[in-house]
Amino acid sequence: MSPAFHSWAQFWAMGGYSFYVWLSVFVVLSIMIILVGHSVYQRRYLLATIASKQDREQRMMAAKKRKHSAGAKS
């Protein structure tokens, strides 16, 4: 089995199609990086939203208990 490219210059030239090959590699890697970044952002946003809703529910439950216990004392 012989290598496809015999030198680094041939590898970077990609048989005369280097512009198209490296442009497509750049586009695919850019899209993948954007997707990973967007996924990380969405995960953090979702977790923050869930935490906010849980805090609100806990405050509402505490207010109900205070109201209920204040009504029972009177």
Contact present, 12 and 18 (Cβ < 8 Å): yes
User: Tell me, what's the pLDDT at 2?
Assistant: 83
- With a CB cutoff of 8 Å and minimum separation 6, the contacts of 11 are 5
If one compares 2 and 39, the residue with the highest pLDDT of the two is: 39
What is the C-alpha to C-alpha distance for residues 72 and 65, in angstroms, rounded to an integer? 10
Q: pLDDT tens for residues 23-70?
A: 999 999 999 999 999 999 999 999 999 999 999 999 999 999 988 887
Amino acid at 51: A
User: Tell me, what's the pLDDT at 74?
Assistant: 57
User: Tell me, what's the pLDDT at 47?
Assistant: 98
